[in-house]
Structure 1
């Protein structure tokens, strides 16, 4: 309650919303928040009706308003209708962080609920200046923004932009939303392989695969399984791959090359995003001059023969990681990570959160803090 008291003292004329997320003892927690200075108290919409009704009685007694939060409600539209019938003052259409990582969008849910109820609606969940304007247009009376203010380089400027979007939503130029694949690729181009590995709980990184030709590489996998020095299938994969794909090759030999300068030029002309090879590459001077990102485990001068053994677009193992056709492959100077296609959107979003957090730590270190102090490492030491 100290936080509410502090806010009330600092902003005596402002509306203070206490995000209690109460799930039990509704009357008690509403009373505590009200006496501390809150104007609006949030309870969980998924709480039992008895908790909500008792919270409402307490809210009426102490002169505050009650907001029910729909985060993680099994059927948020149905529950919104029920909450309106119970008599809450606001329903908060809230998509949680983990739900956002899975692609759930508060704006589309807000639009759906707005057609079903007349109660005042709030909205929360990953909102920025762009989506805040969309929220107001969709019917939100209250827009709740957290991370896109607190994680920004300039908190004041970020808050100002969002305030402007809420006040003048028609003046905001709404960004066009591309396909899911386009969004995934845009995020993966922004984050590092280290960010992605952290988001995957230290998994996904290929072992023994290093950049031969650097540069950021992002694309979906076309897989090749071939045999020592047999370069037929790797070259044929260029014809199958689409622009923006990454060819991922497992070749059993590190002593005989299955890829070289001519294959690189052919892949470059096709618009291939990069090549990953557990095996050997040759024509290194030529390959480096061409500039196509290539990651490999070895380099040699000699090549094998195009015998045609192996297969294209089957599940393979490369660098110790299982790679399936269509998985997202990301490479940079740290190495290569594999992102399963079925979790690509989620993991891209989680990697973006890792990136934001590391940027915040970087800024704090630049201001003079040390990494151990900022992360409070001694607090977590095991004795």
Structure 2
């Protein structure tokens, strides 16, 4: 099978305004999920591999054979600063798709992080360098690098469809996918949910005293 050349990858897909992403990044994923009628929430098994990790950015999609990270290496050559590399890896937990070395490269490239429907490794080292990684599992076993892989295509991630440029938000509750064309409206709705919850929380606290 012939591996697609990088020249065939369209990295010029539309991305949401940075202001919209910044607004969403300030909100809990739970509030965003409520604003989206609880849709777009990835499988709960996909979680931050180190405490406090947060994701916010447009999706650069990778579809790869389970346990193989050729596609991630290719994505690092064309993804743009601020992107989140989102990998459809078949939910495989037997081989880590990335670790500290790829994390270091991603920091140098200004990437926002990784969301893997697969496994990762080097959790402590990734925490030390501050590279956000969300994954289905952690394992010391390394990946294959043979392919095949596809970049910049629609994928399924944790049971949720993801298109290039969709907004990926991750926090301590998990990962949520926001369709790009809905991002601004979702930000408005999620901010309203957050404001309402903040008001109700203040009223509950006040009632204690």
The two structures have a TM-score, normalised by structure 1, of: 0.48
Q: CA deviation at 1:285?
A: 2.6
- Where 1:257 maps in the other structure, the secondary structure is coil
Q: Is the 8 A contact 1:220 1:329 kept in 2?
A: yes
Q: Which runs of 4+ in 1 moved over 2 A?
A: 213-216
Measure the CA separation in 2 of the matches of 1:359 and 1:284. 33
Q: CA deviation at 1:270?
A: 0.7
- Where 1:258 maps in the other structure, the secondary structure is coil
Measure the CA separation in 2 of the matches of 1:309 and 1:221. 20
- Where 2:39 maps in the other structure, the secondary structure is coil
Query: Which digits, 9 at most, give the CA deviation of each residue in 1:289-317, with x for residues without a partner?
Result: 22111100011111122113110111001
**Using CA pairs below 8 Å that are at least 6 residues apart, which structure has the higher relative contact order?**
2
Aligned runs of 1:102-251 on 2, under 5 Å? 181-207=17-43, 208-213=45-50, 214-251=52-89
> Across the two proteins, how many residue pairs are aligned to each other?
191
Q: Is the 8 A contact 2:54 2:171 kept in 1?
A: yes
Which has the larger share of helix?
Answer: 1
Measure the CA separation in 1 of the matches of 2:123 and 2:197. 35
Q: CA deviation at 1:348?
A: 0.9
Structure 2 residue 179 is the aligned partner of structure 1 residue 343 = no
The two structures have a TM-score, normalised by structure 2, of: 0.87
1:272 is matched with which residue? Answer: 111
Q: CA deviation at 1:216?
A: 2.5
- Where 1:204 maps in the other structure, the secondary structure is coil
Q: CA deviation at 1:205?
A: 0.9
Measure the CA separation in 1 of the matches of 2:87 and 2:183. 21
Structure 2 residue 100 is the aligned partner of structure 1 residue 261 = yes
Query: Which digits, 9 at most, give the CA deviation of each residue in 1:67-102, with x for residues without a partner?
Result: xxxxxxxxxxxxxxxxxxxxxxxxxxxxxxxxxxxx
Q: Which structure has the larger Rg?
A: 1
Query: Which digits, 9 at most, give the CA deviation of each residue in 1:9-61, with x for residues without a partner?
Result: xxxxxxxxxxxxxxxxxxxxxxxxxxxxxxxxxxxxxxxxxxxxxxxxxxxxx
1:323 is matched with which residue? Answer: 162
Q: Is the 8 A contact 2:69 2:147 kept in 1?
A: yes
Of 120, 144, 149, 1:281 maps to 120
2:153 is matched with which residue? Answer: 314
2:9 is matched with which residue? Answer: none
Q: Is the 8 A contact 1:228 1:304 kept in 2?
A: no
2:5 is matched with which residue? Answer: none
Measure the CA separation in 2 of the matches of 1:215 and 1:257. 18
Q: CA deviation at 1:203?
A: 1.1
Measure the CA separation in 1 of the matches of 2:67 and 2:54. 27
Q: CA deviation at 1:220?
A: 0.1
Q: Is the 8 A contact 1:193 1:332 kept in 2?
A: yes
**Unmatched tracts of structure 1, length 5 or more:** 1-179, 370-383
Q: CA deviation at 1:347?
A: 0.6
**Unmatched tracts of structure 2, length 5 or more:** 1-15
Query: Which digits, 9 at most, give the CA deviation of each residue in 1:228-283, with x for residues without a partner?
Result: 22111112212211111101011132101111111111111111111000111122
- Where 2:184 maps in the other structure, the secondary structure is helix
